A and B are shown apart, each in its own frame.
Chain A
Amino acid sequence: MSVTIATKFRSKCHVYGDHIDTDRIIPGKYTKTLDLSSLAAHVLEDLDPNFKNIVKVGDILVAGTNFGCGSSREQAPLALKKSGIAVVIAQDFARIFFRNAINIGLPVLELGAHDIQKGSELEIDLKEGIVKDLTASKIYTATKLPNIMIHILGEGGLVNYLKKHKNYSL
């Protein structure tokens, strides 16, 4: 990875379940704005109204299967990023959310199966795709991203990638 973003993270994690849809990540009524910091005030509010009060910069979000299903709103990963979330880990992601997150430079990792518990301390090496659950003393290996996504993420997102390269290269 031609690194312009951090690739190592260590923080406490917030854990939620399966099928967290984009309406729950950021309700549609708040999405129509270019004031991106306003999104953080409503992040996950229909799932856990207290989340926005307890999330700290650098925290990690962990979920089950099909995270980010529903709409194409890029405001969903943006809301998480603006709230301070540094990485999202899920068993798997809905495809538009997955692309959106990489495109805005929010790292996402797929761990086929995991039993990471709320509040656990995680250490992540993005380059190696390794997630260490320090609390439970377990190590997980994430699914490898396609090369093009690694490059986009490495540039900090698709805007920077295209500003630099002008076009896609595989």
Chain B
Amino acid sequence: MGQTISEKIVSNHVGKKVYAGEVVVTEVDGVMATDTTAPLALKAFKEMGGNRVFDPNKFALIIDHAAPSPNERIANLHKLMRDFAKEQNSTLFEIGEGICHQIMVEKKYVKPGQIFIGADSHTPTYGALNAFACGVGSTDLAAVMLTGKIWLKVPHSIKIQCNGTLQKGVTAKDLILFLVGKVTVSGATYQAIEFCGEAFEGLSLSSRMTIANMSSEMGAKTGIVHPNGLQLDYDFVSTTPDKNANYIKSFEFDVSDLEPQVSAPESPDNVHNISNFEGTKIDYAFIGTCCNGRLEDLDIAAKILKGKKIHQDTRLIIAPASQSVLLDGISNGSIATLIEAGASLITSGCGPCVGTHQGVPADGEVVISAANRNFRGRMGNPNSNIYLGAPSTVAASALEGEITNPKKYLS
């Protein structure tokens, strides 16, 4: 019987052929937690009788969700993480080093064909690398830290095939927003998504990360991009599905005419063509996050804003996804261009996306964000409204003070 990518990766780990629906206990290749999830995980680890982490080289802690610490309570949680990493002789990524998912990929903590468990819901981002990556909560993570293993049900897979190539000025974010709108926020619950077809083949690693990242906005356990066209600076073995693999559902779209997409408040699947929202006044624009804070995202925003000033009634916050992205953006001039246009640069990390600090919107304000979630209260104020779009859309909207189709700036 043919196998999906997920079935193959899990089979390789458990040493026998397994199929969707089977419950397995598997070893994992890597595990990480953040300052939102690690404190509870460390507590649970100790309560389980944990002493040493199963393998300190496969374990990382990242301070990114509220970095630097906005108050004494969170400062103490950060200290708890630092102390634990020292005690275990394991790696901790400090404030400003970047967002967990960006770091795990940049520092090669995760590679193609691996099983990676992260205590963050956007862990499926590593599906960009053709890896099987799942998000879990703190206690599940503590159990992996203790045993090096996790139990999981081999997921059924959904195949999403996109034919055609995206128009100029239309990006991977527009494509994945479109797909979230079609599949819906619960359309892939408990299941794995396989993204395949011409539209994905030409995408950069960064764009593939944007695609896989929002698998979680469809409820998926993991989302894996077909390895065709994947380019990495090291040798790797890719995993492809068998021709007769079994899919629980299949979607096929021609995306050659796709327009820029916008997700309206207050669910990521409330997605429509940008023309539905053009002219909506915005107060605040944000580019960053594990979804869209990479160099290509800063570059496209800089291209739109070069030599211009953002609208006088709008503010623009930029949070590079990592220190390495920040340094590259300094080297190539994008950071200077953005600051000259009126942007405010904040520490690499999750920034205002999780509503803890660094830019909570006011009552009644409208935000256009390059993030992946626009649930009520997401950015810290339930009385604000969040629209989601591509970094290009966010930049063009910051420029005009209203939701704006970026295509005219990108021809």
Establish whether residues A69 and B186, one from each chain, have CB atoms under 8 Å apart when the complex forms. yes
Chain A interface residue count, Cβ-Cβ cutoff 8 angstroms: 44
B376 in the interface, Cβ–Cβ < 8 Å?
yes
Within residues 124 to 169 of chain B, which ones have a CB less than 8 A from any CB in chain A? 135-140, 142-143, 146-147, 149, 151, 153
- Find out whether the CB atom of A69 lies under 8 angstroms from the CB atom of B219: yes
Q: Which A residue sits closest to B147, measured CB to CB?
A: A167
B136 A66 Cβ-Cβ under 8 A? no
Q: For A23, give the chain B residue with the smallest CB separation.
A: B375
Closest-CB distance, A44 to chain B (whole angstroms): 11
A170 contacts B25, C-beta separation under 8 Å: yes
Query: Within B100-142, which residues are at the interface with A (CB < 8 Å)?
Result: 119-121, 123, 135-140, 142
| A84 interface contact, C-beta 8 A | no
Beyond A23-B377, A96-B135, A168-B151, whether A163 also contacts B47 by CB under 8 A is yes
Interface of A (DSSP majority class): loop
Q: Please, which residues of chain A bring their CB within 8 A of the CB of B139?
A: 74, 100, 103-104, 157-159
- Cross-chain contact A34 with B40 (CB below 8 angstroms): yes
Residues of chain B within 8 A of A75, CB atoms compared? 40
Contact partner, B146, options A46, A104, A162, Cβ 8 Å: A162
A74 touches B40 (CB 8 A): yes
B18 CB within 8 Å of chain A: no
When the two chains form their complex, are residues B147 and A146 in contact, meaning their CB atoms are under 8 A apart? no
Given contacts A70-B373, A95-B189, A99-B140, contact A159 B151 (CB under 8 A): no
Q: How large is the interface on B (under 10, 10 to 19, 20 to 34, 35 or more residues)?
A: 35 or more
Is A28 in the interface zone, CB < 8 Å from B? yes
A19 to B189, CA, bound (A): 12
B58 at interface by CB-CB < 8 Å:
no
Q: Chain A 100-111 against B: per-residue CB contact (8 Å), 1 yes, 0 no?
A: 100110000000
Contact B121 A70 (CB under 8 A): yes
Task: Assess whether B294 is interfacial by the CB under 8 Å rule.
Answer: no
A-B pairs under 8 A by CB, number: 147
- Chain A residues with CB under 8 Å of B138's CB are 74, 100
The chain A residue sitting closest to B357, CB to CB, is: A29
Q: What 0/1 readout, one digit per residue, does chain A (133-170) give for beta carbons within 8 Å of chain B? A: 00000000000001110000000011100110011111
Q: What residues on A are CB-neighbors of B359 within 8 Å?
A: none
Partner of B186, one of A65, A148, A157, A166: A65
Q: For residue B26, which residue of chain A has the nearest CB?
A: A168
* Candidates A69, A169, A170; contact of B185 at CB < 8 Å: A69
* B25 in contact with A168 (CB, 8 Å): yes
* 9-residue interface stretch from B31-39, B243-251, B296-304: B31-39
Within 62-96 of A, Cβ neighbours of B (below 8 Å) are at 65-66, 69-75, 78, 92, 94-96
Chain B nearest CB from A15 CB (Å) reads 19
Cβ-defined contact, B137 with A96, below 8 A: yes
CA distance A163 to B121 in the complex (A): 26
* 19 A-B pairs (CB sep. < 8 Å): A19-B185, A24-B376, A29-B355, A29-B380, A33-B39, A33-B73, A34-B43, A71-B120, A72-B136, A72-B137, A74-B37, A92-B189, A99-B140, A100-B139, A157-B139, A158-B140, A158-B142, A163-B47, A168-B149
